[in-house]
Structures are given as structure tokens and as C-alpha cells.
């Protein structure tokens, strides 16, 4: 009888400990650590009501916390990387079309990694926020730009910010995301340099990538009059 009581007591203690650990990860500070900037955005959307915001975030964790991301096949990763480069190229001549393509590309990539289908944008971004809280807002900005009347600069910023989510979804690990990004930037730079060489006799500035830093402005050289002359 004494052994049975001890076993029951041990089980109860283990259950309480598990409950407390789960609460620590889904409430208050646990949610702040997990969601980072997404926590602040959710509180702001609830007009400062942290209780309502934390309830929403906790529901997201319950609904999508167990989601397991599917790996991409190497050929699929290469295809996605190529299509994203094409989106950035298209932005030069047609920003609106490029943003529409980027929105669809992110939705498809997220779906292929195991997130809910892009037909339900809210559900998909909720799930993404549970696993990629630092990067999900760029996707929202692109989605908003597609449906809004923002100017070219707003669309450019949205596309740049959404690249972070694209990279982390394309990579199998966070470290690989940075490596992929550096490789793509190198390839893109070489492509732009080749285009610049081919178009140098026409309008070189017209084909400048909107995602590269502007060229430095050189000050005009001052001519110094010969010494001894008035």
C-alpha cells in the first residue's frame, strides 16, 4: 500500500512539473521570448491588451506548435532560388508584377515546407509566426503591398524584408540560410555586372538593381591655377 501511495505521489509531482513547464513556455515571458517582435505587434494590434494578445499567441502555439517542417529536395531549392532571383530582376521593370509573384512564391514555399495552404493567409502566417516569428512580418508586408496602392519604394522595402523569411524557409538550418544568402548575392552581383558591361553604351543607370546600394557621388575636381600668375 505504501509503495502505491509513493508511486501515485511521484506521478502527480511529475504531472505538476510538466504543467508548470508548459505554462512557462506559453504564458507571459515565455511568449515574449518565443515570439519576440511578433509579441509586440500582437499587443499593439490588441490596443495594448496583453491578456488578449497572449491568449491569441497561446492559441497559435496550441494549433501549430507541433508542426514539423518538411525538407525540400535539392532540385526544388534550386528552382525556388532561381525564381526569387527572377522576381528581383522583374522588379526593375515591373515592381507590381514582381510583388505579386513574390507573394505567391512565399505562399507556395511555406506550403511545401509543411505549413497550412496559402489560400488561408491568416492561418498560414499564424503558423509561420510560431516557428519563424522574427521573419514572418516581411511576408505580411508583401501581401499588403499586393492589395494596396503603395508606391515603388514601399514595395521595394517589403520585398527586401520578405527575403528573410524566404531564406529561412529555403534553408534546412538557420546557419545554412546565411550561406545561401551570401551565395545568391554573389551570383546576383555577377549577373548585374555582366548586364552593366553589355549595356554600358546605352543607359547603365537604368538597369541598376533596386536592391543594391547607390554609387558614391564624387565631388568635382578643382583646378589649381599655375603659381606666379594672377
Per-residue pLDDT tens over the stretch 54-79: 999 999 999 999 999 999 999 999 99
Tell me what pLDDT residue 117 has.
87
CA 185, distance to chain mean position in Å, is: 16
Q: Tell if the pTM clears 0.75, that is, is over it.
A: no
Q: Quick one: pLDDT at residue 28?
A: 80
Cα–Cα distance list, 28 to 36, 39, 57, 132, 211 (Å): 12, 10, 10, 19, 38
- Provide the pLDDT for residue 54: 97
Burial of 107: CB neighbours in 10 Å, binned 0-12, 13-18, 19+: buried
Question: What confidence tens digit (pLDDT) does each residue in 177-224 have?
Answer: 444 444 454 444 344 443 444 333 334 444 556 665 444 444 445 555
pLDDT digits (tens, 9 = 90+) for 110-156: 999 999 987 899 999 999 999 999 999 999 999 999 988 779 999 99
Q: What 3-state class would DSSP assign to 12?
A: helix
Residue-level pLDDT at 228? 52
Percent of the chain with pLDDT over 70: 62
Amino acid at each position: 500500500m505504501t509503495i502505491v501511495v509513493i508511486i501515485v505521489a511521484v506521478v502527480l509531482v511529475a504531472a505538476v512539473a510538466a504543467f508548470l513547464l508548459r505554462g512557462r513556455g506559453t504564458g507571459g515571458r515565455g511568449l515574449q521570448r518565443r515570439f519576440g517582435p511578433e509579441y509586440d505587434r500582437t499587443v499593439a494590434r490588441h490596443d495594448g491588451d496583453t491578456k488578449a494578445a497572449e491568449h491569441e499567441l497561446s492559441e497559435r502555439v496550441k494549433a501549430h506548435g507541433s508542426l514539423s517542417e518538411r525538407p525540400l529536395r535539392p532540385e526544388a531549392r534550386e528552382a525556388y532560388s532561381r525564381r526569387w532571383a527572377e522576381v528581383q530582376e522583374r522588379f526593375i521593370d515591373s515592381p507590381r508584377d514582381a510583388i505579386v509573384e513574390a507573394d505567391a512564391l512565399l505562399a507556395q514555399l511555406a506550403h511545401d515546407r509543411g505549413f497550412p495552404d496559402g489560400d488561408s493567409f491568416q492561418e498560414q502566417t499564424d503558423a509561420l509566426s510560431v516557428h519563424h516569428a522574427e521573419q514572418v512580418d516581411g511576408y505580411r508586408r508583401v501581401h499588403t503591398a499586393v492589395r494596396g496602392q503603395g508606391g515603388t519604394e514601399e514595395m521595394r522595402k517589403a520585398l527586401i524584408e520578405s527575403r528573410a523569411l524566404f531564406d529561412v524557409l529555403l534553408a534546412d538550418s538557420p546557419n545554412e540560410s546565411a550561406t545561401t544568402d551570401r551565395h545568391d548575392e554573389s551570383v546576383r552581383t555577377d549577373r548585374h555586372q555582366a548586364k552593366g558591361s553589355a549595356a554600358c553604351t546605352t543607359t547603365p543607370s537604368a538597369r541598376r538593381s533596386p536592391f543594391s546600394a547607390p554609387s558614391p557621388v564624387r565631388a568635382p575636381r578643382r583646378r589649381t591655377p599655375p603659381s606666379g600668375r594672377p
